[in-house]
Structure 1
Amino acid sequence: MNTVKPESIAVFCLTPGGLRLAKRLKQHLPLTCYCSEKLQEDGFVAFSGSFAATAAQAFTTHTALVVIGATGLTVRVIAPLLKDKLSDPAVVVIDEHGQHVISLLSGHVGGANELTRYLAGVLGADPVITTATDVNQLSALDTLAVQLDADMYDFRQSVKIVNQMLVSDQKVGLFWDHDSLPDTEGRWQSERYDTRGFITVNSLTDLPPDLSALICVSLRETLPELAIPVFKLVPRRIVAGIGCRRATSFQLLLSLLQQQLAKYQLDPLALRAIGSVVIKEDEAALKHLSACCRVPFELYSVNELRQHEHLFPSSDFVRQTIGVGSVSQPVAWLMSDGHLVGDTLRQQGVTITLGVSH
């Protein structure tokens, strides 16, 4: 899913008024501002051929595009570029007088609605947001997923169903499965998230009457059967430190990682990242594993691991091979700030230690 990053916002200025507005915005955000060669000033990048060509390039390299100009022109330029609501960047349009900021594309998952509100606040402008949940002062399932950095199975269809229920005045419950967190200190602070429109559910055995569906925020692999549709929203909180012999097979790593997650009843969608020692940066199976799981592959130096290896059992063979006596445990320790989960798996030259990040 795409979410707006402040350092990855491209602003397109089509008139002198657009340049003046962009300068105001640059005082608040680290923007990359584009304009024609005719209008170019210090701090602005000239279009690569044309506005349309530059916008097409930015569509794949930036998480948000802000056009200071006409909505119709913007629609015509981005129309051939649209692919998917879960990957398209946010697109926001501002009139050159800074009176209206319009969320045009990827309002929820892409973050255009949030960016629209922020830019409108900076400019003292009217935010124009047309998504049904926002118009009705409600949260949305995809908005909650972005805030939680969470995923779910059949995300697109689930969002469509749940959001339609919310705007149709149907009752949708929200249950925070705190017991699914492996760390007792890691309870979700539910008050931090936008849950407008959802009905709080405190127990799966005592549901409020007339619920049409239930959202479960949980890391748990399986949930109990209920009489209403249940949509599981899985925050990415689990990290895996992995050590392995050279040329270990991908299938073995995948099988053992799945085994370790299942041992602690953790949904595979809860995986946030895998990590290892920097000497493993070219280990094909580890790189393939991170790609397969769609998570980052994080690397730590031997010196970083040495600072924490005294906390864990060491192997003389591992120390002679890479310079530190343990890999998976200190890696998981660093990735989770010391919040490890259960015991380390040790099989067939592979070690896997899980942690939970906050």
Structure 2
Amino acid sequence: MNTAKPETIALFCLTPGGVTLAQRLQTALPLTCFTSEKLLQPGFIPFGESFAQTVQQAFSQYSALVFIAATGIVVRVIAPLLSDKLHDPAVVVMDERGEHVISLLSGHLGGANDLTRQLAGSLGADPVITTATDVNHLAALDTLAARLDATLKDFRLAVKTVNQMLVSNQRVGLWWDADFASSAALYDTRGFIAVENLEALPELDALVCVTLRNELPPQTIQLFKLVPKRIVAGIGCRRDTPPQIVAELLNQHLLENHFDPLALRAIGSIALKKDEPALLELARSLQIPFNIYSVDQLALHEQRFPASEFVRATVGVGSVSQPAAWLMSDGKLVGNTLKQQGVTITLGVSDRC
């Protein structure tokens, strides 16, 4: 999934005026600027085979693309590259005089709306944002999800439904579980109706719950569970353990600890397991990072946990899953360590967004 905070920004300019404007922007933002050979200036990169070919490469390599060009040209060059709002980068367009900055693609999840405001602020320009929730000065579910690094079941449909309800003046409640209630004020929730108690709801058409829980009290209205990705899992396993076994045990352990499987943020293990098929498949199928730790890194925290001499003789340290989870969660472990079928799994909760 793309991010609401573009970390790498490619800028394309096609005219001398565009190059001049790009040079102004370089002083305010970390930009990789591309232009034609004839307009090349220090700090700029020439187009490759062509402008279109360079854009095609950048589309999958950068979090955001900024064009100082006519909107029509940009639409034509990016049209064959479009996938969906979950994966497309932010795309922003501006005129070479720096009077208008347009959020063109991935306004919420990709962060184009925020980038548009930032660029417009740097130039004193007019930000042009057309997403319905922004136009109506309302929050958006996909923006909230991006800020929280959270996800939902049936993400596209849930976002479409809730955002449509908000702009249609329907009553959408927002409840924060205790783990997140203290930080609720940090997020844009305009248009949502604050809910304090799930047992005593105000009159609502739908309810969004920010929680890690796998189960919530049943409701008579539409309920959308927004699940922040905060759970990490340290995993140790015998060589060539079938991927299905590891996946099933991990899911079992999450549910035993009352966590929604969508809350899983990352898995981790010892460097010796960097090519373990079951762990690689798990990370690939869940689209989460697979963090690798050296023996020395794990050994720093080995004394905190019971050690296995068999494991030590096999991999060089007496415990794998527990110190790995400790490192990923800054020491915030939860529940007991699962030990079944040659697999060990330890869970932790990370505070990092």
TM-score range, shorter chain: over 0.9
**Sequence identity of aligned pairs in percent?**
66
Q: Does 1:193 align with 2:187?
A: yes
| Deviation at residue 159 of structure 1 after TM alignment | 0.8
Paired position in structure 2 for 1:130:
130
Distance between the aligned counterparts of 1:80 and 1:294, measured in 2? 25
Distance 1:294 1:6 in 2: 19
Shift of 1:60: 1.6
Q: Which one-letter code corresponds to 1:64 in the other structure? A: A
Letter of the 1:162 partner, please give it: V
Find the aligned partners of 1:5 and 1:235 in 2 and give their Cα distance: 16
**Aligned mates of 2:49, 2:155 — CA distance in 1:** 38
Query: In structure 2, what residue type is equivalent to 1:67?
Result: F
1:144-183 mapped onto 2 (5 Å cutoff): 144-178=144-178, 181=179
Q: Is the 8 A contact 2:235 2:321 kept in 1?
A: yes
Distance 1:62 1:4, change over 3 A: farther
Measured in 1, the distance between the counterparts of 2:28 and 2:339 equals 50
Question: Matches of 1:77 and 1:70 in 2, distance apart?
Answer: 11
Q: Distance in 1 between matches of 2:108 and 2:68?
A: 21
Q: Distance in 2 between matches of 1:188 and 1:51?
A: 48
Alignment partner, residue 206 of structure 1: 200
| 1:26-65 equivalence runs, <5 A | 26-65=26-65
Query: Structure 1, unaligned stretches of length 5 or more?
Result: none
Alignment of 1:316-335 (within 5 A): 316-335=309-328
Rate the CA distance shift 1:194–1:4 in 2: closer, same or farther, 3 A: closer
Aligned length: 351
Distance 1:112-1:198 versus aligned 2 partners, 3 A rule: same
Query: When the two structures are superposed, what TM-score results if normalisation uses the length of structure 1?
Result: 0.96
Map 1:84-99 onto structure 2 (within 5 A): 84-99=84-99
- Kindly report which structure 2 residues correspond to 1:13-32, keeping only aligned pairs within 5 A, or say none: 13-32=13-32
Partner of 1:9: 9
Provide the secondary structure at the position in 1 that maps to 2:323. helix
| Distance of 2:345 and 2:215 partners within structure 1 | 22
Alpha-carbon distance between aligned partners in 2 of 1:50 and 1:123, rounded to the nearest angstrom: 29
Contact 1:11/1:22, CA 8 A, preserved across alignment: yes
Q: 1:6 deviation in Å? A: 4.5
> What stretches of structure 2 of length at least 5 have no aligned partner?
none
Query: Partner letter of residue 227 of structure 1?
Result: T
Residue type of the alignment partner of 2:281: H
Q: Quick check: 2:4–2:109 contact (8 Å CA) kept in 1? A: no
Equivalent residue runs for 1:255-334 within 5 Å: 255-334=248-327
Encode CA deviations 1:120-141: one digit per residue, 9 max, x unaligned. Answer: 1111111110101001111001
What is the CA deviation profile of residues 262-294 of structure 1, one whole-angstrom value per residue up to 9, with x for unaligned ones?
Answer: 101111100000000111101111100111121
Q: Contact (CA 8 Å) 2:5, 2:111: kept in 1 or not?
A: no
SS at match of 2:18: helix
TM-score, L = length of structure 2: 0.97
Letter in 1 for 2:333: L
Output one character per residue of 1:62-97: Cα deviation in whole Å (capped at 9) or x when no partner. 111100011111112112221212111111001111
RMSD: 1.2
Query: Per-residue CA shift, 1:25-72, capped at 9, x if unaligned?
Result: 112222111000111122111111221221122112111110001111
Aligned residue number for residue 112 of structure 2? 112
Question: Partners of 2:5 and 2:153 in 1: how far apart?
Answer: 25
- Measure, in 1, the Cα distance between the counterparts of 2:332 and 2:182: 15
The secondary structure found in structure 2 opposite 1:117 is helix
- Give me the whole-angstrom Cα distance separating, in 2, the residues matched to 1:265 and 1:152: 17
Write the distance in 2 (CA, Å) between the matches of 1:65 and 1:145: 22
